[in-house]
A = this chain, B = another copy of it.
Amino acid sequence: MLGHLLTVGDEILLGQIVNTNAAWLGERLAEAGVDIQRSETVGDDVDRIATSIERAFSDGAALVVVTGGLGPTHDDVTKAAVAQVFGRDLQFRQDVFERIEARYTSRGRTMPPVGRVMAEVPEGFEALPNSRGSAPGLWGEREADGRRQLVVVMPGVPHEMQAITNESVLPRLVALQDAVVLSRTLLTAGQGESQIAETVGDLFEAFPPGLSLAYLPSLGQVRLRVTARGADRAAAEADLDRATDAIRDRLGRLVFGEGTTTLEAVVNEMLRVRGLRLGVAESCTGGSLAARITSVSGASDVFCGGVVAYSNGAKRDLLCVPGDVIDEHGAVSEPVALALAAGARQRLGADVGVSTTGVAGPTGGTPDKPVGLVWVAYDDGETSRAVRLQFTADREANVALSVSAALDLVRRQLARRERAGG
């Protein structure tokens, strides 16, 4: 199915915000079998929006997806433009109005007058529920030039647009194409894209052509998205199971989760399930490790606290790292990393301690201890383990990579602990 993407907003044209909606939609629509020919941004202007939609259809698009220019702050220019292109009037829809009103009421707020405008829908269009906001999505169809032409309109607020896409738009698009497209994402930490690809790449040569694999790398992590296209859901599900089982088999403990979870959420949950509490000692990560852990709501149940020990004095006084260990080995060393992890556990009254110490850069490196050298360590009173890493990125990325490595060390040690205990 040929598609066209239109994002509406003066603030995008002026570069005041980066167009992440286009990237997100591009990725999801491609997975759903839509071949996007052109992605376009115009300002909040009815004529420009209408021109773009008309051109897209005359270029052969079967689907035009429009985001933005909808809802209270945009004067609903997009809705007016779509109604104009399709030659439909806007109709007030009582059911949509009540849904919007109920949303305001449930939050103890009064619906503003603009609620009535949001409840207007072009004649013959469907209103798609917006589980994260007020303005509904719109789905319209027509026959023109002997072909079916579809338009989908959604608000520009990313989490609202994403919810409508996932809950309504993608399932409908897949259904329309007489095909089922299912995907599942495996999350890995600890190896780069090329290492992962070497380990699992050949699997897909033996798989049916409807199965595909995309590597989506980010700092310290690689997401593996497996997509199965098939005539029916059961067959696609079976293909997906087979492929993800085979990948998990090869990658083993590198896989830390599925879907949209995060390494920090997985670690939080592992601690919760085991009834353990974590303490953190950070040098080179400067607070970022604690910040990642506490970014998960409810972290206070499993996180005692942390110490950012930038100075050797703080390492000694707050975390009981013996001064002679620092003097002998230097602050960036295995013994200090281990002493920091043990100190965090003991001083913070935690069950498990984790630490980082390293040279984030861009300055501070020596021939022995170059920029990017980082030690992370784990200590739970019975077991302790330190891992040496050598990164080559800039300061910000070296810190982010160190944080991921520390979280991943805790994850692996907790998994091992369970296995040993069971």
Chain A residues packing against B (C-beta within 8 Å)? 12-20, 22-28, 30, 36-43, 48, 52, 55, 216, 280, 282, 285-295, 297-300, 303-311, 313-314, 317-318, 347-349, 361-364, 395-396, 399
Residue contacts A-B, CB under 8 angstroms, 8 given: A14-B27, A14-B36, A15-B27, A15-B30, A280-B287, A297-B395, A305-B308, A317-B349
Q: Which residue of B17, B22, B25, B288 is within 8 Å of A291 (Cβ)?
A: B288
Beta-carbon contact of B307 and A294 below 8 Å: no
Given contacts A30-B15, A39-B40, contact A318 B307 (CB under 8 A): yes
Beta-carbon contact of B287 and A288 below 8 Å: yes
Beta-carbon contact of B26 and A12 below 8 Å: yes
Given contacts A287-B289, A311-B304, A348-B318, contact A363 B297 (CB under 8 A): yes
Q: Which residue of B28, B42, B293, B347 is within 8 Å of A318 (Cβ)?
A: B347
How many copies of this protein are present in the complex? 2
Given contacts A295-B396, A308-B307, A395-B297, contact A41 B39 (CB under 8 A): yes
Chain B residues contacting A216 (CB-CB under 8 Å) are 16
Chain B residues contacting A24 (CB-CB under 8 Å) are 15
A259 and B43 CA atoms in complex are apart in Å by 27
Q: Which residue of B22, B25, B308, B395 is within 8 Å of A287 (Cβ)?
A: B308
Chain B residues contacting A280 (CB-CB under 8 Å) are 287, 308
Beta-carbon contact of A23 and B27 below 8 Å: no
Given contacts A287-B308, A290-B287, A310-B304, contact A14 B40 (CB under 8 A): no
A41 and B41 CA atoms in complex are apart in Å by 9
Q: Which residue of B27, B40, B286, B313 is within 8 Å of A38 (Cβ)?
A: B40
Beta-carbon contact of A303 and B295 below 8 Å: no
Beta-carbon contact of A349 and B313 below 8 Å: yes
Chain B residues contacting A348 (CB-CB under 8 Å) are 311, 314, 318
Residue of B nearest to A217 (CB): B16
